[in-house]
Chain A
Amino acid sequence: DIQMTQSPSTLSASVGDRVTITCRASQSISDWLAWYQQKPGKAPTLLIYKASTLGSGVPSRFSGSGSGTEFTLIISSLQPDDFATYYCQQYNTYPLTFGGGTKVDI
């Protein structure tokens, strides 16, 4: 199975900050990577797919980049609604696997 490793696991930030989350794959996954946001008690929502393509209705302050084994999710200017946990997920190979999550809090 492909292991996905996110860093950091927790990130403290303030409104207006630029936030960077990293996701590393244990082997190359090309650009078959998605990012999700999850708020407490809620279902995940799709932010980005194919490493850098914004999901429908996702604000432009979110961006994704990377290919191969290293990927980043950037929030250019953190908004109050962005405090949540973020997960990366690879879909290069079954089983689909997730990173352990990055919690963004104040």
Chain B
Amino acid sequence: EVQLVESGGGLIKPGRSLRLSCTGSGFNFGDYAMSWFRQAPGKGLEWVGFIRNNAYGGTTEYAASVKGRFTISRDDSKTIAYLQTNSLKTEDTAVYYCSAGTTGWYSDYWGQGTLVTVSS
């Protein structure tokens, strides 16, 4: 059974940093691109970014709203993808989902999400 489990969310003050983790199991993690999305309370889905698998160089793409502040990385030996979030703003408050897809263009598998609340 495919599973993606996010962790690391919580309440954090503006300007601080937080690292989210996404642990995958039940599929060949190294073959998949890993993406992050977010959903502000009561709002729709927003793409944050993704990291390609190493066969495609492990390169990354980001939404303009997070570029330069957020960094996606992966450790295939541990089957974990990370989302490092820096200089957090109140508007970054959302449930953050990780997902896996063969290309990163759309997502076959999703985690259950982790809530990040940015507030003073």
Where the two chains meet, the residues of A that have a C-beta atom closer than 8 Å to any C-beta of B are 32, 34, 36, 38, 42-46, 49, 55-56, 87, 89, 91, 94-101
Does more than half of chain B's interface fall in helix, strand or loop, or is it mixed? Answer: loop
- B44 proximity list for chain A (CB < 8 A): 87, 98-101
Question: Are A44 and B97 interface neighbours, CB within 8 A?
Answer: yes
CB distance from A45 to the nearest CB of B (A): 7
Verify if B91 is at the interface (C-beta below 8 Å from A). no
Q: Which residues of B contact A44 (CB under 8 A)?
A: 37, 45, 97, 107, 110
Q: Give the 9 A-B CB pairs with smallest separation, nearest first.
A: A91-B105, A43-B110, A34-B106, A96-B47, A98-B45, A95-B63, A49-B106, A101-B44, A100-B44
**Chain A binding surface, main DSSP class:** loop
Q: Mark B75-100, 1 if CB is under 8 A from A, else 0.
A: 00000000000000000000001010
Given contacts A43-B113, A44-B97, A94-B61, contact A55 B45 (CB under 8 A): no
Chain A residue at smallest Cβ distance from B106:
A34
Is the CB–CB distance between B105 and A55 below 8 Å? no
Can you name the residue of chain B whose Cβ is closest to the Cβ of A101?
A: B44
Can you add 7 more A-B contacts, CB < 8 Å, to A42-B112, A46-B108, A91-B105?
A: A32-B105, A44-B107, A89-B45, A95-B61, A96-B47, A98-B47, A99-B44
- B55: interface (CB < 8 Å): no
Partner of A43, one of B46, B61, B63, B111: B111
Q: Is the CB–CB distance between A56 and B108 below 8 Å?
A: yes
What is the CA–CA distance of A97 and B107 in the complex, to the nearest angstrom? 13
Chain A residue nearest to B101 (CB atoms) is A46
